[in-house]
Structure 1
Amino acid sequence: MNLILILIFGFVLRLVNLNQSFWLDETVQAITSKSSFLGLFTELRGDFHPPLYHLLMWLWVHLFGNGEIAMRLPSVFFGTVTIYVVYLIAKKLLAKKSKFPLIAALFMATAPFHIYYSQEARTYATTAFLASLSIYWFIKMIGNNGKRQSSSLFYILTTVLLLYADYYGLFVLLAQIVAALIISSHRETRFCRRQVLIFLLFLPCLPLLWLQFKTGSQATTLLPQWGRLVNLSFLKALPLTFIKFSLGRITIFDKKIYAAVAAVLFLSYGFIFLNGFFKNKKFRFNNLSLIILFWLLGPVLLAWLISLFIPNYQPFRLLLVLPAFYLLLVYGISKFSVRKIQMILAIGIVVVNLVSVGVYYFNPYFHREDWRGAVHYIEEQGNEKSLALLPSETSHWPYDYYSQKKIPLLALARGFSLVKEKNLDNLFSTREKPEKIYYLYYLADLFDPQDLTPDWLEKQKFVKIREVSFNQIRIQEWEFYHE
């Protein structure tokens, strides 16, 4: 199969359903990217990411606007070129003239987890691209013993950009350092100087990291459920990461079938991985396969262990190691001596990928939060005597983005505080009581865990007349009862 056809195929797969509604984080990105340059940095404190992607999107939005498709196109682009970088790495890892580099590119082109985040106006697809590029130049630099200045310069540049795109890039850098130390020829001062330079160039980002860490700590302290929202449980984290890497964002609602599918995938993929590193019950590796192995395992294990102290583990944050996942699968397949087995395994993985992608495409449940539909519904059904209500002001962004300003929005809690009775009692102190309230039951478990709001509405003689849902966005309609 021609590489260009694979790239076109991967690009097309990333365009399907690109006009989905923005979800919460994307609307924050859309609004802040359209704000002033100073306003962009004001909002950075609440987002646990370095500034590179925000700067890129600020420039992009001021040129092309902040519509759904326009804002997601950079992720589509970076997601597509990542396929090509994976192909280049596979040519280093495997025989250049074999079919396996093309198989690696095909795996990445059809990867369901990567396709999902290549359609999101967030940093993750960009980070995966920069991580792959950093690894590619790291391998080039290792291969020529650091003697070619161009390889070293490109390695430093792409690694610094990676660190400015995502803090998880630090884990990739640590994995590279450990791999280089094991490869004895790179226990030298030149390599150490490069790492010191990379760290020095990253230093300006540390004050922002500290500020964001303090904001996250404040949220964890004030909101008892915050840790559960942003962090997977320690025991579920690794198995769920494997499932997401394999199947993407879809799930199977029957737990027995879900467990059976997960077990089959784990045994099958695990056997392929082990085949790449074991022969006659002996562990075997070359320098390049060791680098890819460290690229996959290093960030995952470090993020997993750190989550015990800093709750921030989510599989999507580890998209930057997904290329290593597929490269090691191809590496394991290449070590089978029977060609028919190689082809069956490769086709099997592509089928798993495409079935998962198809389920994501055609089942709206797996699409993003439908804020566009929710806000449109409120503004079509309501009138000048209606009011929209949210548990927390931290979630106002999607409503602001999609609203035509027909129905005003009020938030019950400020910042990272919980909804309190006094917030509710003061709700109508400065405004007339509305005839109808649309209560957006969004993150209510986090900000209103005692469900104070519905009880208070009943006390105020409102009656819940219906509840509708727009893909994870629940709306309760409350109407004032006139005696």
Structure 2
Amino acid sequence: MIRRWIILTFLLAIVVRFPLINGSFWLDEAAQVLESQRSFSEQLQIGYDFQPPLLHVIVWGLVRISTNEAFLRSVSLLAGVGSIFFTYLIAQTHAPKNSRVSLLVVALITFSQFHIFYSQELRSYMLATFFGSVSWWLVVTQPFSLRVRSLFLAGVHLLGLYSMYVYPFLIISQLIFVLFSTMKKKWYLISILLSAIGFIPWLPSFLNQVREGTTLSATLSGWSQVVSLPQWKSLAMSFAKLITGQIPYDGLYALISGGMVLLFGFGLFLVLRTQKQLRLFFVCSAVLPVVLAWLVSFFVPVLAPKRVLFVLPFLFMMFAFLGKKFGRVSNGILGVFITLQVLVLFSYWSDTSLQREDWRTVSREIYEQYDPSETLLIFGFTDAFAPWRFYDQQQEVPFDEVAFSTIPISAEEVQQLDQKVRAYQTIIIFDYLRDLTDPNRMIEKKLEQLGYIGEKSIPYQHIGFLRVYQKIVYQANSRVE
């Protein structure tokens, strides 16, 4: 009976990851697609993207078939479901006589909004989570001979290293687990050595990406705050986000997330107090990688909840062991927690503020409402934003665009807008990221000097306003906009 429920829950895990999977690409996803549309030789030339190249190579092959959002995101969806499967196998190993624990593990990850969100994102976070789950399965279950296991694990770790730069924190935590456990050590040390050797060819590119990222942070004040949490709260916030999901901590959502964290914390207290033989595994798989990333972030800001997504399955596995004992107490805690998970999931499906930037709608509405021959688009960045570029390439007659050679935008370059805008009746300015690149709103001031007047501001969730300006045409004793 339990086995049947586990199969049904696995099917449900796939089903609940379909809603919104065909939604608009946001900035990072669209940039990923545009980069992967280049030639294969260029897939390793990604100094501006602080990610290893594995996903670039995978998507390079997929975009030759289709650029449909759901199709490309299926990489993450399959990796997400795969991570649930291998976590289930690990749970079976730790609780072979208690199928209820395995069912709870599958259910908790199935309804995790954070896990679902990144199972629907064309980035490498879920790939690293999948490889992390497979690696722990190899370490814990020891399914093959030592030699085969060493080679298999070396390959898995190498793929993990080429997926995410924070993946080494998982390897270090795993090494500590092996060293303090009773299992043989040599095979694991060999696998680490082989995977490290395999990553050496990428080191020059990695160092170049570090330089590029450092330059951007130094040039664009506030960029590090955009991509990383403040250090003083990043550790607690990372665990909270992994547990509750991508929801804001205000209003009703604050009550829901607070309740989830309290239930989770109390449940972990009970589990760690009783499951002494599993403490080392739980600490090394679910806690230590995040702590290590946090410590390194005092020097280089690397910690963000999505970057340590690979600990999420083991956080929920630890919580699921509450179902092994405690009777009604565990039933109550787990029942309420899963109910809150489902509530957060329905909120994600219905509340656009919890979803991604909808650039597809922006593109469609601008093309429906404005004439490309009379309208100029201004982006407060060094180029049109990647999602605009992605959806714009599907149009027969694109809009003319203006971007800037440096960021933050210089006053000298703003003054040169005269010749660029003069031929257009309508100017549309994208507010996206302009708090960083044009905080003084020099572009609007220049347009007003040139005889344009603000007509309206169109709001878009997570994208900000589109500022629409019209040229004032003066006629005898009157003006026409």
Fold match by TM threshold 0.5: yes
What CA distance in whole angstroms lies between the structure 1 residues aligned with 2:187 and 2:81?
Answer: 34
Is the partner of 2:417 in helix, strand or coil? coil
Residues 6, 106 of structure 1: 8 Å contact kept? yes
2:54 is matched with 52
1:84 is matched with 85
Following superposition of structure 1 onto structure 2, how do residues 24-423 of structure 1 map, counting pairs within 5 Å? 24-42=27-45, 44-62=46-64, 64-141=65-142, 148-186=146-184, 188-254=185-251, 257-279=252-274, 285-286=276-277, 288-334=278-324, 336-338=325-327, 340-383=328-371, 384-403=373-392, 404=395, 406-414=397-405, 417-423=407-413
2:479 is matched with none
Is the partner of 1:464 in helix, strand or coil? strand
What CA distance in whole angstroms lies between the structure 1 residues aligned with 2:145 and 2:458?
Answer: 64
- Structure 1 residues 395 and 316, CA gap change in structure 2 (3 angstroms): farther
What CA distance in whole angstroms lies between the structure 2 residues aligned with 1:330 and 1:293?
Answer: 15
2:24 is matched with 21
1:452 is matched with 442
Is the partner of 1:165 in helix, strand or coil? coil
What CA distance in whole angstroms lies between the structure 1 residues aligned with 2:163 and 2:369?
Answer: 42
| TM-score, scaled relative to structure 1 | 0.91
What CA distance in whole angstroms lies between the structure 2 residues aligned with 1:70 and 1:331?
Answer: 36
- Structure 1 residues 401 and 47, CA gap change in structure 2 (3 angstroms): same
- Structure 1 residues 333 and 51, CA gap change in structure 2 (3 angstroms): same
Question: For residue 302 of structure 1, what is the amino acid of its counterpart?
Answer: L
Aligned alpha-carbon RMSD (Å): 2.0
Q: What's the offset of the Cα at 1:240?
A: 2.0
Is the partner of 1:316 in helix, strand or coil? helix
Gaps of 5+ in 1: none
Residues 21, 120 of structure 2: 8 Å contact kept? yes
Q: Structure 1 residue 9 and structure 2 residue 12: aligned?
A: yes
- Structure 1 residues 309 and 252, CA gap change in structure 2 (3 angstroms): closer
What CA distance in whole angstroms lies between the structure 1 residues aligned with 2:125 and 2:298?
Answer: 23
What CA distance in whole angstroms lies between the structure 2 residues aligned with 1:55 and 1:251?
Answer: 34
Aligned length: 467
Residues 151, 191 of structure 2: 8 Å contact kept? no
What CA distance in whole angstroms lies between the structure 2 residues aligned with 1:191 and 1:239?
Answer: 31
- Deviation readout 1:245-297 (Å, 9 max, x if unpaired): 1221122542xx55544443333211111212224xxxx622x5422321221
What CA distance in whole angstroms lies between the structure 1 residues aligned with 2:400 and 2:303?
Answer: 32
Is the partner of 2:86 in helix, strand or coil? helix
Gaps of 5+ in 2: 475-481
What CA distance in whole angstroms lies between the structure 1 residues aligned with 2:47 and 2:79?
Answer: 25
- Structure 1 residues 428 and 41, CA gap change in structure 2 (3 angstroms): farther
- Deviation readout 1:437-473 (Å, 9 max, x if unpaired): 1111100111112222222222222111111122222
Residues 150, 190 of structure 2: 8 Å contact kept? no
Residues 45, 215 of structure 1: 8 Å contact kept? yes
Q: What's the offset of the Cα at 1:181?
A: 1.6
| TM-score, scaled relative to structure 2 | 0.92
Identity across matched positions, percent: 26
What CA distance in whole angstroms lies between the structure 2 residues aligned with 1:461 and 1:444?
Answer: 22
Is the partner of 1:120 in helix, strand or coil? coil
- Structure 1 residues 396 and 207, CA gap change in structure 2 (3 angstroms): same
- Deviation readout 1:193-230 (Å, 9 max, x if unpaired): 33222211121221121111111000011011111111
Residues 156, 198 of structure 1: 8 Å contact kept? yes
